Chains A and B, each alone.
Chain A
Amino acid sequence: MTKLHVAEYLDIDVEAERWHCHDCDRDLGPARENYKRGLLVAERDPSEVHPKVIEGEYTFSPNGDWVRLLEFYCPGCGRQVETEYLPAGHPLTRDTDIDIDSIKARIAAGEARINEEGKLEVTL
């Protein structure tokens, strides 16, 4: 077992050092880089997802002039891998950097293994 299931829709192939979609297995790029670079991005006005319900400046939807809703899709299966609410132009968050070398070292030392669920299991 070399694929670590690190997020609901993301695997890392530890040996090949590649991100993969957990659902369709699409290769999403080098595991030492931001996985989002392998995804598609769509910008939406928050009110498309959060109905305003009432009229006026203050509603039940975030104000689209303040924040935008970003959706990140797997280009293979269209799975919505991540979402983020950001002000327009705000740097996109590189939310996950897994230390590949550390995982390899722990497995090599017999300290941990990737189990049948694709999870890192400490064995010592």
Chain B
Amino acid sequence: MTYPTLEQKMQALKVVPASDYERQCVDAIPAGDYEIAVQRTADILDEGYEVFMRSSRSSMGVAGDSIVAMFTAAGDLVNASAGTYLHAVIPPIVIKYILARHAENPGINDGDIWYTNDALYGGIHNPDQVAMMPVFFDGELVAWTAALSHTTETGAIEPGGMPLSATSRFEEGMNLPPMRVGQNFSINDDVLEMFAAFGIRAEANVTVDMRARATTADRVRVRLLEMFEREGKEFVTGLFRRMLDDAEAGARARISSWADGTFRCVNFSDAAGLTQGLLRNCQMELTKKGDHLTIDFTGTSPETPSSYNAHPQAVVGHLANYIYEYVFHDLPISSATFAPIDFIFPENSMLSPDARAATSNAVMAASGAMSAIANCISRARFGSTDWRQVTASQGNGGNASVLAGVSQWGAFFADMIAYPINTEGQGAHATSDGMDAYGFPWCAFGRAPDVESMENEFPMLIPMSSHWRDSGGAGKYRGGVGTAQLWVTHHAPYVFAMAIADNSIVQTPQPLFGGYSQPTVPGVVLNGINVTEALATAESGTLTLEALLAGEFGGTPTSSTYGSAIHPVNGGDSIIIGLSTGGTGYGDPLDREIDSIDQDLVKQLVSPESAVHLYGAVLDRNGRVDRDATIGRRAEIVAERLARGVPYDEFEAAWSERKPDDSILGLFGHWPDGAVVTPLMRP
């Protein structure tokens, strides 16, 4: 096997140096034409993105959890339309692998369709799949195009593409290394049949999504060719190189504007697949010097005997989610922006596992990295004129639910429900609250589908879908609240359900500058009632999360971990109370504007109890905030803090003598440094 090493993958992220010819082409671009042509690339890619969403079948493809990209002939990413920034940096690894490995055999030809979903070779996890097409002009390879998206079925040991119970890659279903799946602008029928066979649980999702990727890559290829024909090879070659130059220069200028220093964050999670245990999900040390960043993950817990591992480039992709949303938001989506960033991954950690490791839940493993990068970069840039862009971390819960079975239309299906994951709350900002139900931290532009669309698509009734009160981390600026939904099997005798999580015992993101994190996310089911009957017979009441948990509609709420293995759920039973986490808080809650507390109460985003206990509010008999009394109460709370706080050195001396119970440290690695204790053996 020749899968790329860690060093080769990191090297592939670096832009290939410009040739003399490319420099000549850059110099020949007429003034003014460059900006117009940059916008043209964006227009082409936006057209591709629209085609992609309209052609996809899986919920996440339809929601826009995708990216459409164009590359130089050498495989460097020039620009993209997203979607998800998860793929904004790393696709060059795969194209450069194809160029290095397959240029001679089987060769790279006009009309080829190349494909991969194997994270060992450079992706995120195997539900994320990419179709790539070389662009030939006058018989010469001049560019590449690609379309990447998440398909929610891979033929793994469990449905939905992200099996909780997989312990190695051999239980994750289809893993295709980079390979040619089509020629002469057509997908090979035998390959398509292979996809259908792996996707037998949801054949339409798998085969239609595969066609959508190829269709989209080809649309961008056709538009690029038009550009080559209209503008000439020299112009487009110069355009691409200058876009790479500008992207890298923009990134370096942005980084340079911050003070030099070292910034650290550590965070935790509570499960690896179906095994509970405390993990140091990410230990990050970010060193900023000049125009360069080094990000070191040493100290992150060892790789796990589950699918909660992420190959290093998948971790880089997760960092891109935050960095592109908040730091490089005004730069082209290009691998060149990461040229000033280097990484240190500890071998055999959950962020750099063995080749045999299962990584289909890489998104869970890398949620800590995605949270820590927000924390570290915010600390790095707060002292700069960039400070208004500082944010607390997103919630990064990713509490995804998977449904499978036979729909009300008699069709087999297996899909991840797009609504919950696309309605998480946003992390608070340095100048404002996080947006409520803002979206999906893994896909900033993903769209939550309408409830009615989901009820039409799946055998489900969704009688409640609303903001989740108190789910935003408290602070001077509050994390945006997430959402709560009630999912009930409907129009089908049963469905199969599973859910993915690692935040039912501890929440992963750390807050910022004195705020609090969001709540944990338990799995709650209602035992003892048929929900559809209860709703039909209820005489009054408003269906809210609070009413359900209080038993106002009957039944007994029973909690477990939100993550659950695949299990059947009968018609009329609630599958789960779906919870989409809130964002983390920023700043001291006692600093929050009193009017903002009042507004939160009116909008039912914060409970009266939280207003009193977290924000020091005193409420009048109408439940509104009494301003003068609140100012007085806050002074009392400050006095209480000063009375209970102990000097740091004194506290640390006693604290460092303690340790969690060994029963929860089975996944942690060596205490407290997280080093590998016993290497994993996978058959």
By a beta-carbon cutoff of 8 Å, the part of chain A in contact with chain B is 4-9, 12, 36-43, 49-51, 53-54, 56-63, 65-67, 69, 71-73, 75, 77-99, 102-103, 115, 117, 119-122
Contact = CB atoms under 8 A, between A and B. Distances in A.
A86 B31 CA distance: 55
Given A66-B278, A91-B672, A99-B262, 15 more contacts: A5-B383, A8-B382, A41-B648, A43-B655, A54-B524, A58-B561, A61-B520, A65-B664, A66-B270, A83-B516, A89-B657, A97-B261, A102-B260, A119-B385, A120-B385
Contact of A41 (B265, B511, B645): B645
Given A63-B506, A119-B383, A120-B385, A8 B586 contact: yes
B658 A88 contact: yes
Contacts of A12: 383
B396 interface: no
B51 interface: no
Contacts of A120: 257-259, 383-385
20 contacts: A4-B383, A5-B382, A8-B382, A42-B644, A42-B646, A50-B516, A54-B522, A56-B559, A60-B470, A62-B517, A63-B520, A66-B268, A83-B511, A85-B507, A85-B517, A93-B265, A95-B264, A119-B387, A120-B257, A120-B384
A73 B504 CA distance: 28
Contact of B641 (A7, A43, A51, A78): A78
Interface of B: 256-268, 270, 278, 289, 375, 379, 382-385, 387, 430, 470, 474, 476, 504-507, 510-517, 519-524, 549, 557-561, 586-591, 609-610, 613-614, 638-639, 641-642, 644-649, 651-652, 655-661, 664, 672
A8 to B, nearest CB: 4
A91 to B, nearest CB: 6
Contact of B655 (A88, A93, A122): A88
B642 A73 contact: yes
B644 A8 contact: no
A20 B519 CA distance: 32
Nearest to B477: A8
Nearest to A118: B383
B259 A6 contact: yes
A78 B522 CA distance: 33
Contacts of A98: 259-261, 383
Given A54-B549, A71-B641, A89 B260 contact: no
A8 B258 contact: no
Nearest to B523: A58
Contacts of A54: 522, 524, 549, 557, 559
Nearest to B267: A85
Nearest to A77: B638
B658 A89 contact: yes
Given A8-B514, A59-B520, A51 B261 contact: no
Contacts of A90: 266, 672
A96 to B, nearest CB: 5
Contact of B379 (A53, A80, A87, A95): A95
B552 to A, nearest CB: 14
B660 A89 contact: yes
A12 B379 CA distance: 13
A7 B513 contact: yes
B156 to A, nearest CB: 26
Contacts of B522: 54, 56, 58-60
A92 to B, nearest CB: 6
B506 A67 contact: yes
Contacts of A86: 266
A78 B519 CA distance: 25
B269 to A, nearest CB: 10
Contacts of A97: 261-263
A62 B638 contact: no
Contacts of A41: 645-648, 651-652
B507 A40 contact: no
Contacts of A58: 504-505, 520, 522-523, 559-561
Given A61-B519, A102-B259, A40 B505 contact: no
Contacts of A117: 385
A16 B569 CA distance: 66
Contacts of B258: 120
Nearest to A67: B506
Contacts of B375: 95
A75 to B, nearest CB: 7
A34 B576 CA distance: 45
A38 B514 contact: no
Contacts of B646: 40-42
Contacts of A61: 519-520
A85 B430 contact: no
A51 B470 contact: yes
Contacts of A84: 510
Across the A-B interface, give the 6 residue pairs with the lowest CB-CB distance, nearest first.
Answer: A40-B645, A78-B638, A89-B658, A99-B260, A8-B513, A102-B260
B503 to A, nearest CB: 9
A60 B520 contact: yes
A95 to B, nearest CB: 5
A53 B664 CA distance: 24
Nearest to A102: B260
A56 B523 CA distance: 11
Q: Among the interface residues A81, A82, A84, A96, which one has the most CB atoms of the partner chain B within 10 A?
A: A96
Contacts of A122: 256-257, 385
Nearest to B516: A49
B96 to A, nearest CB: 34
Contact of A50 (B515, B520, B591, B642): B520
Contact of B664 (A38, A66, A83): A66
Contacts of A115: 385
